[in-house]
Amino acid sequence: MNPTPRPVFLNLVQIRLPIAGFMSILHRLSGVLLFAFIPFVLYLLQLVLSGEAGYQKAAELLSNPLVILACFGLFWGLSHHLLAGIRYLLMDIHVGVDAPVHRYTAWLVTLLAPVMALLITGGVL
């Protein structure tokens, strides 16, 4: 018995993932992003809670375009992770498991997360 040989080289550009697979990868990426942003968020919180001078410094920091872009990334990660987590919880109780609904909710999460992030970024900053 000769087992089927395993692929040696996978070209990730040529692999066509379904939208649910793509959304799953984004869910994992958003989790890593949220974890990576913990020190930044704690630093901002420490600045804001340190007094009026710290609050002014945090406000000045948040007016920097690169920091605004980083905050958009943080809010995207939070929005995507929240929406995908709700989707996965519903799938755990067998809601939205059928193929058309499954694809629709994957598209919905993927497209709604950046919209939510833009709205949150615009409202917070």
Q: How buried is residue 66: exposed, middle or buried, by Cβ count under 10 Å (0-12/13-18/19+)?
A: exposed
The pLDDT score that the predictor gives to residue 12 is 67
pLDDT at 8: 67
Q: List per-block mean pLDDT (blocks of 10 residues) for the chain, which spans 125 residues.
A: 71 81 94 97 97 96 96 97 96 93 95 97 89
Structure-token match 């992030």, residue found? 117
Radius of gyration, alpha carbons of the chain: 20
Rounded distance between C-alpha atoms, residue 11 and residue 81, angstroms: 27
The pLDDT value given to residue 7:
65
Q: What is the reported pLDDT for 17?
A: 86
Q: CA 65: distance to chain centroid?
A: 20
Identify the pLDDT of residue 97. Answer: 92
**What local confidence, expressed as pLDDT, does residue 13 receive?**
75
Distance of CA 53 to the CA centre of its chain: 32
Amino acid 36: pLDDT: 97
Structure letter (DSSP) for residue 58: H
d(CA 92, CA 85): 10
pLDDT, residue 40, reads 96
Domains of the chain: 19-124 (1.20.1300.10)
| CA–CA separation, 95 and 31 (whole Å) | 23
